[in-house]
Amino acid sequence: MNDTKVLEKLGKIGLIPVAVLESAKDAVPLAQALSTGGIDTMEVTFRTDCAADAISLIKKQFANFLVGAGTILTVEQAEKAAEAGADYIVSPGFNAELVKWCTKHQIPVIPGCTTASEVQAAVAIGLSMLKFFPAATCGGVKSCANLAAPFQTVKFLPTGGINFDNFSDYVNRDYIHAIGGGWLCDKADIQAENWEKITQVAKESVKKLLGFEVAHVGINTNSAEEAKKISVELSDIFGFPVFRGALSDFVGTGFEINCSMGLGTNGHIAIDTNSVAQAEYHLARLGVAFKEESRVVAGGKTAVLYLQKEFGGFAIHLRQRKQ
């Protein structure tokens, strides 16, 4: 898998567990636990001696699981990680020599940058995804946003001090590519071989990442006149205001009355999500199929996408939640 595809997949997964392994024997069951929970990647830190062996074992067992090598400080460590099969390299700070080596060998590298000077140096080398570390002590999401403002081509991977309770601060932001943290594979749970708990944390984190919420119900009609009649009736009953459009009327925010027979036998249900791209990836893992012809792209990313299947005569589409 080339550099672009690796980084693209990381963005779709959206969450990157940061694992500290004391024994290589834990690598495969941890990868299985995370994958079962919906997360097909992890960053294995080079803080312990078994890191390279752990990466090698995972790559031999799971071909499609992306394994990153974290806390890489030197070119020598990067070489060792690459030999073990690491799909990407993560370093806590910006090391030009390390970055150039990875670039030369076509290994995606995500160096840590917390100042404008570091970001500018990384951009000059050609990087577009950077680690924001340690996120919590460097000002959190506000500082990350300020740092991203002058660098429109850069996206960040915040890690450090991020947990289940606060990671949602970073979702649905254009400058965030993915979010990393140790809460997804707690060291104590790994040592206790509590794989079921790790799977459950992964599932709950993915659920929170996507943030699914019913946005509105769409009702099909045969004409603009019929749509207007239904809109007025609903407004009279519930007191919701009517907003008229060229193709449909909205009654409050919960009803969309189509002026024609749209997708779905009876209509559609809109589901808001923090990221349609990430939702598409995670739902596809569950076997959900989509209507490619329904895809609406705005600002370079998917804004609307319908599922193939109808439910009770209603089509369902994902909708990008506004920031």
Is residue 60 annotated as a catalytic residue, yes or no? no
Q: Which residues lie below 8 Å from residue 270, measured CB to CB, with a gap of 6+?
A: 214, 215, 216, 217, 218, 256, 316, 317, 319
Q: Which residues lie below 8 Å from residue 310, measured CB to CB, with a gap of 6+?
A: 264, 265, 316
Is residue 43 annotated as a catalytic residue, yes or no? yes
Q: Which residues lie below 8 Å from residue 191, measured CB to CB, with a gap of 6+?
A: 22, 26
Distance CA 77, CA 225 (A): 69
Catalytic residue among 9, 59, 79, 131: 131
H runs (alpha helix) in 240-320: 276-285
Sign of CA dihedral 244, 316, 233, 221: positive
Q: What is the 3-state secondary structure (H, E, C) of 130-193?
A: EEECCCCCCCHHHHHHHHHCCCCCCEEEECCCCCCCCHHHHCCCCCECCEEEHHHHCHHHHHCC
Going from the C-alpha of 88 to that of each of 28, 76, 83, 101, the distances in angstroms are 18, 15, 12, 13
β-sheet with 255-258: strand ranges across: 242-244, 248-251, 255-258, 213-219, 267-273, 314-320, 301-307, 290-298
Catalytic residue among 9, 43, 59, 155: 43
Active site residues: 43, 131
